[in-house]
Structure 1
């Protein structure tokens, strides 16, 4: 009586959760062998042939070519022990023909890594059968592990670091993916000695990595540690770093978490340009000489940014990763980086697009004072749609800042210093500033980002350009 086993799409590693069926490599009614590739799938990173852990006859396929399946969804069902079309009995996972015989010294058994590329054999490369999440284990049998020879030969190790005997009874081991099996094989780790933390004892990658760390802690070196870098985990524990330790908590911890998330999620790019700020500085001097509240430079730059965002609204956006949509925002809330004794904070000027230079100056001053006194409310630190970073106050010319998640762009402003500059066809000393724009490449391409930055630079060089939008 044939036993029908279900083979599910395994975890393909690196956090991938789904794959698209590109091409089926077997048909319903066709016999398959252990580790024979049955389907070609495309993930977000590569094209992969997925090997089947069972030998038998394919009884069903799930999903047409072009269908996207999540990890864990059924791929095929296999009747183990079903006679093949030519009348010969099909081999099941416990009777795998060529896989049941160790290869003679110096030779590879049929179906080894060299012949199958990424697919790994059940016997010749680790003596493990893979059960991709099935809890139904066929009858156990006895095999002999091929001996390793040569000056670097070392016995395989258990999860606790003890050597594994040369001959042991074994059977199908439920492993979540071929990558996990390969990781164990490269480090001569016997999966039969492990207890998986997944459903029904399924061995996950984390289980293998933990076993390798345990072996390293007991001084057992694996081949991966001796032969150079491989796609495995480190096998030697690093000594604790010496020095003063400061916990990442409070404001510092929140900033660290936000910056780390930005780096993980946002594919950012930076463009920059030098601009002659001489006329902007003269305009500010004239404004302040006319009486009334003094106008700050950061307020003028913020006013320029709101005018630029009206022309290039793509940069006043956020990305909804769950819905896979770019959300263009109607209101402009400008955040600005402020250094305080408690660390870097980013207060937010709400509805900056409705404020003039005088109103922006007053709001920047109020928020800066509140930041230094530690009196900012959560509402004043959240909800920004665009950030202005004046790192010129630290005496630096340029930077490639990290975007303030979940915003889409940040304008950086360097110090304004006298430099040689060609002005009206002659060499002159002018007040020059470097402007940089870091943007989320998902919301726009370089043409839009460059257009935004060029418009900002034009306004810095010729403040009269702003009169068009006042």
Structure 2
């Protein structure tokens, strides 16, 4: 009998998703829980497991198509009717398995679901790490790694057992014509990373297309045209909507302060020379993150949320610190949960892990949600200052400028010092000028004299 599989609600409150690639083709025989496709929402790249075992009869969308939730995605020719879409162990509590024939036809609506014959043991599946805290705010933007559309005839059905890698890496390997089984993974638990793939590709003969060309967003350009058109979709679309909503909802105010951070530079240098700390790679971002956590405790207005619907100001007694990371397709702002509980070394490690995960395209939706305050480091691009836009649902964001060696007044004389500019944007509904200025001064004082952190609590 024919069974239709509709695009489920992926649990993110998003009405549509872009089909990145099919992992099966019409006529293929698939097994329960076999990955059939990868779809990209505004927040993540998600693998869809098959809820049925049978033969693929019809694929109702092509790579690059935007599909609405509830639309038929694929049709199967299934023998019998004993296969029931079920919830995976990760979501079983919130999505009970159907017990009656009428319920068997219900479309699953949770991401991560699997399927199994009635009475059969569920196969063990590796589940991505999700946040240990629930989050109800749409504060952050999820960026998935680049994908290009791939023609159906080029898709090879995925084996049930595959080398461990991420969807973006598998896509890149397919387009480079590299068998992942031949690539040695250096990531956690043998995960094959983009770097592993590029290193393997560099040892082969020069490919006809470069990695940079493959990972560039799909564009439309006719020879001789004076313009290039790139579709607005996925993360870029979501980012634009979030920033417009923030800019035209929260009244932004930005204040600046330029300070001498030579003492912080010397502290970082001394920590880097300590052999026991060398692997932690402590930098200015970690010190600034610690300073922000300490200052937020003294100025809770910067760690609050304007709840329009409830008519309330929600003050957070914890800090979920967002760390902005630039990727090939847009901005990623995952956050460090309960950052106020971490010391300098732990913050440095957390920042590095977030950055590595973002670059690999493995940031989960949960890691992007629930932020209470954010930091962006524009200084890494050689920029002295900027006016950052607040993430929706947060009260402020701090931009770190470049650290420059320049003449500066020091103890009544002119000397070469390390100088940087801090820029704080805040929501004027929640924070007035005095509060914002005092918060920025507290952060600046710690970066000017790191020892002052010993006086705060």
Point out the structure with max Rg over C-alpha. Answer: 1
* TM-score normalised by the chain length of structure 2: 0.49
Q: Which has the higher contact order (CA 8 A, sep 6+)?
A: 2
- The TM-score, its normalising length taken from structure 1, stands at 0.48
